[in-house]
Structure formats: structure tokens, C-alpha cells
Amino acid sequence: MRRILNNIKEHHDVARKHLDKKLFLRVVIFIIIFIVMVGLIIFNVFENKIGILLASFGFLLGYTIGTLTGRVFKIRWNKKDKKVIARIDVIGFFILIPYLIFTFYRDQILENWLHGVLLTAFTFSLLAGIMLGRVVYLFSHIKKTLGDRGISV
């Protein structure tokens, strides 16, 4: 257990040192939202408000959306600050538009198939998957960017 905690501390120290504050905060917020959504999914599955298969489908669909929309931000090294930063580029902007449309009209799109509590529980699954997909995308690109600079994570 002590080794695991030391490993987490080392990763946290590397992240603090080599990540832009906004990017670090974005990752932390995504992780917190993911944890909360997973808790809500588990609660809804145990309360029989959503089946495990439908919750899993929503999670996998969300994960796919999250990894695709992870491209919204271009992860790169800032030579001046010597930190990894994330900025929106032109391609990211065009990915962001359909993602925002889906985000704002998600309930209207999904209510053709799901209603009431089931729709809410499915939305939790979808959001958990999206957050995990975004975090995995960010982690992989941050790790690659740091690795290109000889910084091990």
C-alpha cells in the first residue's frame, strides 16, 4: 500500500511541475466528475433504475465520445514556460461544435428511446464514459509530450 501511495505522490509531483495549471485543473475536474458519475451509476444499478447492460452501453458510448472529443484540445509543450499546455485549434473547434450540440440537446435526442429515471441513469453512464475517455486521451497525450522531452511519468 505504501508503494502505491508513493507512486501516486510521484505522479502528482511530476504533474504539478510539468503541467500548465489550467490543464492540471481540467484533468482533476474530469476525474472528480467521473468518480461522482460512477457512484451514481452504481447506486442506480443497485436500485434497479437501470440495467447493467444499458448502463454499460451508455458508458462505452460515452467513452467513445470522450476519446473522440478529447481532440478538441491540442496538447503541446510550451518552450517558454517549460510545461505541457492544452489549447484549442481549428480542428478542435470543429469537433467542439457537434459535441456542444449533443451536450445541450442530449435529453431531447435520447428521450425518443428512454424516459424518466431511466433517461437520467443512462445520462450518468454516458457522462462517466465521456469523462473517462477525455481523461485517458489527455493522459496519453500528456505522457507522450513529456516522454518526447525525456521526462518519465
pLDDT tens digits, one per residue of 33-51: 999 999 999 999 999 989 9
Residue 42 C-alpha cell reads as 452504481
d(CA 33, CA 139): 16
**CB atoms near residue 150 (< 10 Å):** 6
Buried b (16+ CB within 10 A) or exposed e, 103-141: eeeeeeebeeebeeebeebbbbbbbbbbbbbbbebbeeb
Buried b (16+ CB within 10 A) or exposed e, 14-24: ebeebbbeebb
Q: What is the mean pLDDT of residues 117-121?
A: 82
Residue 119 C-alpha cell reads as 433517461
Q: What is the mean pLDDT of residues 140-150?
A: 86
Poorest-confidence range of 41-45, 47-51, 58-62, 70-74? Answer: 70-74
Structure-model confidence comparison of residues 105 and 127, the more confident one: 127
pLDDT at 6 over 70: no
CA quadruple 111, 72, 135, 8: dihedral, nearest 10: -160
d(CA 129, CA 62): 4
Structure-model confidence comparison of residues 59 and 12, the more confident one: 59
| Percent of the chain surpassing pLDDT 90 | 25
Residue 62: what pLDDT?
92
Please check whether residue 109 is in contact with residue 102, taking contact to mean a CB–CB distance below 8 angstroms. yes
pLDDT at 109 over 70: yes
**Tell me, what amino acid is at 26?**
R
Residue 101: what pLDDT?
82
Q: Model pTM greater than 0.85? A: no
Residue 115: what pLDDT?
76
